[in-house]
Structure 1
Amino acid sequence: MTEDAATIPIRPAELAAFLAARMCHDFISPASAIVSGLDLLEDPTAQDMREDAMGLIAASARKLADLLAFSRVAFGASASAETFDARELEKLARGVFGHMRAELDWQVEPAGVNKPAARTLLNLAQMAGAALPTGGSARVRAVEEAASIAIAVEATGPRARLRPEVLAGLRGEGPGEGLHGHWVQARYVNLFVGDAGGRVFADVAEERVTLAATIPA
C-alpha cells in the first residue's frame, strides 16, 4: 500500500534544497540583467546604449539588493536577532513591492515583533503580492491579542488568485502537480508557524485572497 503523496512529510534536506532553488531563481534574474548591462558597456559597437546600460545595471542592482535584504530576514531571520522593529520590516517589504505590480498597505500596530511573527509578516506579504499579477492592493495588518500576534494579509484586485500548490503548502500538504518553486515558500511558512505554536490560514474568493496567522507573542 502506498501513502498519498500529499500527506508524506517532507525531509528537512529536501525542503532546504527546494528553498535554496527558489531563492536562486529570484536572484538570478536581476543578477543576469546586471551582467547584460556590463556586456553592453564593454561592447564597442553599442556605445550609443551606454545610458540604457547604466539604467539597467542600476535598476537590477537595486532589485537584487532588495531581494537579498528581504530574504535574509524572511528565510534566515537575520542571525541572532529575536525581536524585529516593525518599521524595518515595512522597509524590507516595500523594497520587494517596489518591483511588483501590487501596492502595499502596511498596517502593523506592534512596534516590534518576535522572529516567527517577523518571518510570517514578510512571507505572507510577498505571497499576497504574487497573488496580484496584474496589480491591486495587499493590506498587511497585525495586532496583539492577549498572548498572541494576529496577522491578516488581504490581496484584492483583478485576477487575484492563489495557486493550488501555494494553498497546499500552507495546509502542510505536498505540491501535487504544481511547481515546487511556488509551493516551498508556503510549506516553509506552515512549518515555522507550527513550530512556534501558531496557525496559518488561507481563504480565496473572487478578486480577493486572504492569508492569516496567529503567532504566540
Structure 2
Amino acid sequence: MTIAPLDLAALLCSRLCHDVIGPVGAIINGLEVLDSNDAEMRGIAMDLIRKSAESASARLQFCRLAFGASGSLAAAIDTGHAETAAREIFNTDRTTLRWEAPRRLAPKNAVKLLLNLCLIAASAAPRGGVITAEMTGEGEDLFIRVGAVGGNVKLSQAVAHALSGSEPETIDAHSIQPYYATLLAGECGLTIDAVATAGAVTLTAKRAA
C-alpha cells in the first residue's frame, strides 16, 4: 500500500508524542506534589521533575535528529552529535550503547537511518542489553549495522515484516517507525536486512548486490 504524505506525517507525529508524553506527564505529577507541605515529598517531587525534564530533553534532541529536518534538506550531520543524542537515551542502567561509527560529516538520511535502526534495536531489547551501532563507507560503499544482544531480545513479526520491504496491509502508530526506516534506506539506495536469533537481533543496511 502507498501511504499519503499527510498520513505519514500524522503517524510520525503520533509516534514522537508517544515518546515524550511519559516524561512530560511525570513533570506535571511532580509539580502537583510540590503543593504538599511535606518537605520530604517536595524533595522527591523536585528529583522527579529534574530527571523527567532531562529525559524529555534527551528524547526531543534524539527525535530532532532521527525524524526532523535539522537544517536544509541536503545538509550533512555530524555523527558525533548523533552519538551524543543516542547515548542520552540508550546508555542506561540496563542498556549499554557501543557506538562504532567514526566521527565525520555524513549524509543526513544515512545518519537518520542509523538512529532509527538504533531505536528499533532498543525496542527489541525492552529489558536491556548491549546495542552496537556501526556506520562505515560512503556513497555506494555505505554500510550500516545495528545489533542488540540480551537475554530477552526479540524482533516482533510486525517490525520484521515492515523492515522487509513487503507491502504492509496496514500502517499504524506501531509500524510507522520501521516503515519510515525503510523509506530512509531507499533514499540512501540501501536495503535493510533483519536477522533474529536467540537473544540477538542484527539490522544491516547496505546496497543490494
TM-score over 0.5 for the pair? yes
Query: 1:202 aligns to what?
Result: 194
Aligned pairs (5 A) from 1:111-150: 111-144=104-137, 147-150=140-143
Distance 1:175 1:61, change over 3 A: farther
1:47 is displaced (CA, Å) by: 3.6
Q: Structure 2: give runs of 5+ residues left out of the alignment.
A: none
Query: 1:87 aligns to what?
Result: 80
CA–CA distance in structure 1, aligned partners of residues 138 and 119 of structure 2 = 24
Q: Structure 1: give runs of 5+ residues left out of the alignment.
A: 1-7
**Structure 2 length as normaliser, TM-score?**
0.90
CA–CA distance in structure 2, aligned partners of residues 152 and 66 of structure 1 = 23
- Partner of 1:155, secondary structure, is strand
Is 1:174–2:190 an aligned residue pair?
A: no
Is 1:50–2:46 an aligned residue pair?
A: no
Q: Which amino acid aligns with 2:137?
A: E
Between 1:55-64 and 1:11-20, the stretch displaced more is 11-20
Moved over 4 A (4+): none
CA–CA distance in structure 1, aligned partners of residues 185 and 85 of structure 2 = 20
1:109 is displaced (CA, Å) by: 2.8
Preserved CA contact (<8 Å) 2:76 2:106: yes
CA–CA distance in structure 2, aligned partners of residues 150 and 77 of structure 1 = 22
**CA RMSD between the two structures:** 2.1
Q: Which amino acid aligns with 1:210?
A: T
Q: Deviation per CA, 1:155-189, whole angstroms, max 9, x where unpaired?
A: 1111111112211221233266xx93331110001
Distance 1:198 1:22, change over 3 A: same
CA–CA distance in structure 1, aligned partners of residues 113 and 90 of structure 2 = 16
CA–CA distance in structure 2, aligned partners of residues 110 and 103 of structure 1 = 19
CA–CA distance in structure 1, aligned partners of residues 60 and 168 of structure 2 = 27
Query: 2:183 aligns to what?
Result: 191
- Partner of 2:137, secondary structure, is strand
Aligned pairs (5 A) from 1:26-65: 26-44=19-37, 46-65=38-57
Is 1:213–2:186 an aligned residue pair?
A: no
Q: Which amino acid aligns with 1:158?
A: G
- Partner of 1:147, secondary structure, is helix
Is 1:163–2:152 an aligned residue pair?
A: no
1:110 is displaced (CA, Å) by: 5.3
CA–CA distance in structure 1, aligned partners of residues 99 and 80 of structure 2 = 10
CA–CA distance in structure 2, aligned partners of residues 99 and 29 of structure 1 = 17
Q: Which amino acid aligns with 2:174?
A: H
Preserved CA contact (<8 Å) 2:101 2:136: yes
Distance 1:60 1:194, change over 3 A: same
1:71 is displaced (CA, Å) by: 0.5
Query: 1:108 aligns to what?
Result: 101
- Report how many aligned residue pairs link the two structures: 206
